[in-house]
Chain A
Amino acid sequence: MKPYDAIRTRLARSPEAGAAAGFSVIFLIFAFATPDTFLSHSAISSILNSQAVPGILAIGITLLMISGEFDLSVGSILGVSSLAFLYATVNGVPILLAAGIGLIVGCLLGLINGLLLISTGIPSFIITLGTMLAYRAIPLTAISGGRIVRYADYSRESPILEVPGLLVFVLTLALFFIVLWVVRDIWRARNQSVKSKILLVAALLFVAYLVIEALLPHPLTPVKIDFFSALNGRIGMDNYRTSILWWIGLTSVFAIVLRQTRFGNAVFATGGNAQAARLQGIRIDRVRVINFVISGFLAALAGIIQVARLKSVDPLRGTGLELEVIAAVVIGGTLLTGGYGSLVGSAIGTALTGMLRTGLVLMQVPSNAFRGAIGAIMIAAVVINNFVRKER
């Protein structure tokens, strides 16, 4: 095999390779064009902060797209769940319960999408186009006259989540035992070198030390968490926010689920050849419904994370977000036709769209040109991906 072909084969096997290459090129262009402003903490943090919410939505969209489905309603689900969460909070519902309500609303709206899909057999593009409009009607009618619901109008204090000391103790202990369990299984697995066993024991002792250190000085003291800061507060001095950690964490968890578990394999198979998957005993309808529920859940979570920073909800919250996210997922190498894609690719695609928006502003390109650039890059990405994939 010629080196050129080898590279092409390699690229074709990883859906995210194209997005990573495109990201690097555009990053370098901006870095050379406006080095002082673009390569600053304020620019990078603003890109990442603004992309955390679309990035979390992109996880659900990617799972759905790999299983051959489409979700246009995530923006509307985000709007409805944000409103449910904020209304519950300002009406005195404890903050964690309010978040639970928001998440349940998101799951339910996703469930409706999924059940409509499997019961009618209509393409999910049409179904979610319908529910996108229908779900949007909820905040539009609930918030009269284009008003904005603000947390500050009801309370001056940030909601504090108070975790009872006993619960902290139990949770820490449970976590410790799970770590112990994982360590035991890794220990038992074949082909473990002495070195890795020593490392394992060291890691275990370190965790044990942390647990003892954390629990012993303050046994059973309640822990107070500023809810909004935990979801979307500043980390350190440079305006990076915790929402970035949620984005990275959720992407990692779902990437592992997608690549390394039976459910992930079922998602790929459902989108790759639904009939073959069904004949191998995979319950394809269940996979589709679960993916819609996950997408609804993540839209709600992203909405709550956004509320934690903006501390308000307006009737149009989340409008148009779905198209931007779908563009980012497509740039990330996931195929609209299903069976092929990557969550890491989607994260890179989301970061790329954010970088483009900020970078163009810094280059003093009129901000409206951003949409044109996204469109052009998305089409270019698909053309390049198709070319590379032909020789898979």
Chain B
Amino acid sequence: MALLELKNIGRRFGHIVALKGIDFTLEDGEVLALLGDNGAGKSTLIKVITGVYPPSGGEMYFGDKAVRFDSPQDARDLGIETVYQDLALVPSMSIARNFYLGRELVKRVGPFAFFDQAAMDTGAAAALGEIGIHIRNASESVARLSGGERQSIAIARALHFGSRVLILDEPTSALSVGETRKVLGYITAAKEKGIGVIFITHNITHVFEVADRTTILSHGEKVGDFPICDVTQDDIAAMVMGQGIPKHL
């Protein structure tokens, strides 16, 4: 039984067909690289999975249950967490406040609920420490952190809040080499926790480093699913560029 399964998903915007007949699966503890050229439909597919766009047709199953997402909140409630490249954190807020944004820890005092700032500071620091991120001070503003540090915090947050499916939308595109290593390390860590990871990237080298399988899209349709051990970088490049499936596959 797949963790997440999409059958014959379509999505149109007026006359434009963005996705057509997409079958897609993700298993527990699997790292899936979602590849395709710009405009291939990767982002639209992700937005269908995260509830941003309802699909125009097709079925979605989470576990073995048919699901329908009307809002991003529905997807989040099932543990589908997405880390977006630039949209992950609020720079003017502290690390702890970002970490718990929308899920703040409160203490009840009579009819009122106030922040439990101390619990959030220690909680955020502990959760980050768990996946190997050590911060000086959880009350520090995110504006002072580097791109890699911000990305790590967003990933740590997604992992901490019981995510079952972690979607990373080009997580390494703005990072230095060292920071990229770390982020790839978090992907492996998530996989070891049994989380299904969907990983969008343009960097084929990273695909070979962490992914188990790849799903390739071209012009809104699926080219195919391939275990990483069966394909070469040249095969992937050819398929991403719309040259079809190489003969030897």
A positions within 8 Å CB-CB of B: 13, 178-179, 181-182, 184-186, 189, 256, 259-262, 265-266, 268-269, 271-273, 275-282, 339-340, 392
Q: For the complex, is B183 an interface residue (Cβ under 8 Å from A)? A: no
Are A340 and B104 in contact, CB atoms less than 8 angstroms apart? no
Report if A282-B110 is in contact (Cβ < 8 Å); known contacts: A272-B92, A273-B91.
Answer: no
Are A268 and B93 in contact, CB atoms less than 8 angstroms apart? yes
Are A268 and B111 in contact, CB atoms less than 8 angstroms apart? no
Report if A276-B89 is in contact (Cβ < 8 Å); known contacts: A261-B114, A262-B104, A392-B141.
Answer: yes
Near A by CB (< 8 A), chain B positions 86-122 give 87-93, 97, 101-104, 106-115
Report if A279-B84 is in contact (Cβ < 8 Å); known contacts: A262-B104, A269-B93.
Answer: yes
Are A273 and B102 in contact, CB atoms less than 8 angstroms apart? no
Among A260, A262, A279, the one with the most B-chain Cβ atoms within 10 Å of its Cβ is A279
CA distance A265 to B102 in the complex (A): 8
Q: How many A-B residue pairs have CB under 8 A?
A: 87
CA distance A186 to B114 in the complex (A): 12
Are B109 and A273 in contact, CB atoms less than 8 angstroms apart? no
CB distance from A274 to the nearest CB of B (A): 9
Q: Which residues of A contact B104 (CB under 8 A)?
A: 262, 265
Are A185 and B93 in contact, CB atoms less than 8 angstroms apart? no
CA distance A203 to B187 in the complex (A): 54
Which residue on chain B has the smallest CB distance to residue A184? B110
Q: Which residues of A contact B115 (CB under 8 A)?
A: 259-262, 265
- Count of interface residues, chain B, beta-carbon cutoff 8 Å: 30
Are A339 and B90 in contact, CB atoms less than 8 angstroms apart? yes
Report if A392-B87 is in contact (Cβ < 8 Å); known contacts: A260-B114, A268-B92.
Answer: no
Q: For the complex, is B143 an interface residue (Cβ under 8 Å from A)? A: yes
Report if A262-B84 is in contact (Cβ < 8 Å); known contacts: A269-B90, A269-B93.
Answer: no
Q: List 9 A-B contacts (CB under 8 A).
A: A185-B108, A265-B101, A265-B104, A273-B92, A276-B89, A279-B88, A280-B103, A281-B73, A339-B93
CA distance A189 to B109 in the complex (A): 9
CA distance A276 to B101 in the complex (A): 10
Partner of A182 from B72, B97, B110, B143 at Cβ < 8 Å: B110
CA distance A185 to B82 in the complex (A): 37
Given A261-B115, A392-B144, 8 more A-B residue pairs with CB atoms under 8 Å apart are: A182-B109, A182-B112, A256-B114, A269-B102, A271-B92, A277-B90, A278-B72, A281-B73
Q: Which residues of A contact B164 (CB under 8 A)?
A: none
CB distance from A259 to the nearest CB of B (A): 8
CB distance from A220 to the nearest CB of B (A): 26
Q: For the complex, is B76 an interface residue (Cβ under 8 Å from A)? A: yes
CB distance from B88 to the nearest CB of A (A): 6
CA distance A269 to B76 in the complex (A): 19
What per-residue 1/0 map shows which CB atoms of B127-154 lie under 8 Å from chain A? 0000000000000010110000000000
Are A281 and B91 in contact, CB atoms less than 8 angstroms apart? no
Are B110 and A185 in contact, CB atoms less than 8 angstroms apart? yes
Q: Which residues of B contact A181 (CB under 8 A)?
A: 110-111
CB distance from B80 to the nearest CB of A (A): 12
Are A265 and B87 in contact, CB atoms less than 8 angstroms apart? no
Which residue on chain A has the smallest CB distance to residue B77? A281
CA distance A271 to B109 in the complex (A): 28
What per-residue 1/0 map shows which CB atoms of B53-75 lie under 8 Å from chain A? 00000000000000000001100
What per-residue 1/0 map shows which CB atoms of B21-36 lie under 8 Å from chain A? 0000000000000000
Are B141 and A276 in contact, CB atoms less than 8 angstroms apart? no
Which residue on chain B has the smallest CB distance to residue A13? B141
Are A268 and B90 in contact, CB atoms less than 8 angstroms apart? yes
CA distance A278 to B51 in the complex (A): 13
Partner of B87 from A185, A266, A276 at Cβ < 8 Å: A276
Q: Which residues of B contact A276 (CB under 8 A)?
A: 84, 87-90, 101
CB distance from A77 to the nearest CB of B (A): 28
Q: Which residues of B contact A268 (CB under 8 A)?
A: 90, 92-93, 97
